Amino acid sequence: MGSTMRAAVLYGKEDVRLESVPVPAVGAGEILIRVRTALTCGTDVKVFRRGYHAKMIVPPALFGHELAGDVAAVGDGVTRFRVGQRVVAANSAPCGNCFFCRRGQLNLCEDLLFNNGAYAEFIHIPARIVEKNTYEIPPHLSYQDAALVEPLACVLRGLDECNVLPGDTVAVMGLGPIGLMFVRMAKAVLNARVIAIARRQSQIDNAIRLGADDGVILDLQNPQSTITELRRQTDGRGADLTIEAIGLPETWELAPQLVRKGGVINFFGGCPAGTRVGLDTQLLHYSDITCRASFHHTPDHIRRSLHAVQSGKVTSDYLVNREEPLDNLLKVMRDLMKPNGHIKTAIIP
């Protein structure tokens, strides 16, 4: 292309600037996507608030990682894609050769290649992601729905790790975008009974629109009231699976009280670095509780997540509730730091 584009550059804590930068060049095996929709993500908000992310992004860097768009250029040797095709690309791809990849734990790849730069007119997709984690978007699917594939893949993997059976009760604590995607997936794909747990009734109401069966108010001042109500709704036993999707030590510590004997906890929400939790050892042991802490996705989950979106079981309804031009990104990020009912915002470059 040889010209410039508008792109968001993250410089550090709460410092993101819209700049004119060169349109990335496309090498062998790579593609360039003209971004049609980029979705905000809780991780981006975290990175914006803290100014860094140990694994995903090191500032100054192009920012944003959930996107769908049109192929604008293809590098030598690319055969699966052509200019003009509508595509969705994930934000990473594993190497396929390391210790973890060979064991099938591709999310833990020692050389996981991350890609950022979705908040821009164009994004460059490295060859490995083109090859392993990029798909054509079916004609009936909107860019916005397609862009959900990456976060949904993390959610799908999180549920996979917990062996949910149809009719099981899944309690989801935290109803941000990820918690709401757990609600939707558990309901629409796994046919579970879902109990949504959050601080505000408006969050629970939104979860119910996405398929949650019941709600429990999370009261961190008086956690016993949350435990009592959850147990009342589960015949006194607790949920079969409890998902922590907030990322606070207090809520990690609460999770074992919300799960039944022999049940599973997924500590999905990443807490701030350096934090620790205290867990009731007697409760974990004598109740035979399984603890998981899922991270990220694999190419298989990206593929299955696209299927879930393609089938219409999961859509962006009630998940993406605002649309803004790229130039408003700073304001959007600031808004997302406050609890104000914004879930995911579609950024349209």
Residues near Zn ion (CB under 5 A): 41, 43, 66, 94-95, 98, 101, 109, 151
Measured from the CB atom, the residue of 38 and 198 that comes closer to Zn ion is 38
- As to burial, measured by CB atoms within 10 angstroms (0-12 exposed, 13-18 middle, 19+ buried), residue 140 is exposed
What is the total residue count of the chain? 349
Q: Which is nearer to Zn ion, 152 or 239 (CB)?
A: 152
Q: Minimal distance in Å, beta carbon 222 to Zn ion?
A: 32
Strand order across the 15-22 sheet: 15-22, 4-12, 61-62
Taking the least distance from each CB to Zn ion, the nearer of 66 and 229 is 66
* Strand (E) or helix (H) holding 254: helix 249-254
CB of 328 to Zn ion, least distance (A): 19
- The DSSP result for 62-95, as a single string, is E---EEEEEEEEE-TT--S--TT-EEEE-SEE--
Rounded to a whole number of angstroms, the minimum distance from the CB of residue 181 to Zn ion is 10
Tell the smallest beta-carbon distance from residue 41 to Zn ion (Å).
3
Give the closest residue to 92 by CA, choosing from 41, 143, 61, 133.
Answer: 133
**Beta carbon nearer to Zn ion, 41 or 347:** 41
What DSSP state is assigned to residue 278? -
- Determine contact, residues 176/342, Cβ cutoff 8 Å: no
At which residue do the structure tokens 């083109």 appear?
130
Read off the tokens for 224: 């016993």
Kindly state the DSSP code that residue 53 receives in the 8-state scheme.
Answer: B
Separation between Cα atoms, residue 296 and residue 314, nearest integer Å = 19
Write out the E strands in the chain.
4-12, 15-22, 31-39, 61-62, 66-74, 86-89, 92-93, 113-114, 122-125, 134-136, 169-173, 193-198, 214-217, 239-244, 259-267, 290-292, 320-325, 344-348
Query: Which tokens hold the place of 260?
Result: 């039944």
CB count within 10 Å of CB 346 equals 21
| Shortest separation between residue 156's beta carbon and Zn ion, angstroms | 13
Pairing mode, strands 320-325 and 344-348: parallel
Minimum separation from the CB atom of position 326 to Zn ion (A): 17
Q: Of 41 and 207, which CB lies nearer to Zn ion in the complex structure?
A: 41
The residue among 111 and 280 lying less far from Zn ion, judged by its C-beta, is 111
| Gap between the Cα atoms of 218 and 196, Å rounded | 10
In the complex, minimum distance from the CB of residue 288 to Zn ion, in angstroms, rounded to a whole number: 33
User: In whole angstroms, how close is the CB of 268 to Zn ion at the nearest point?
Assistant: 13
- In angstroms, give the least distance from the CB of 42 to Zn ion: 7
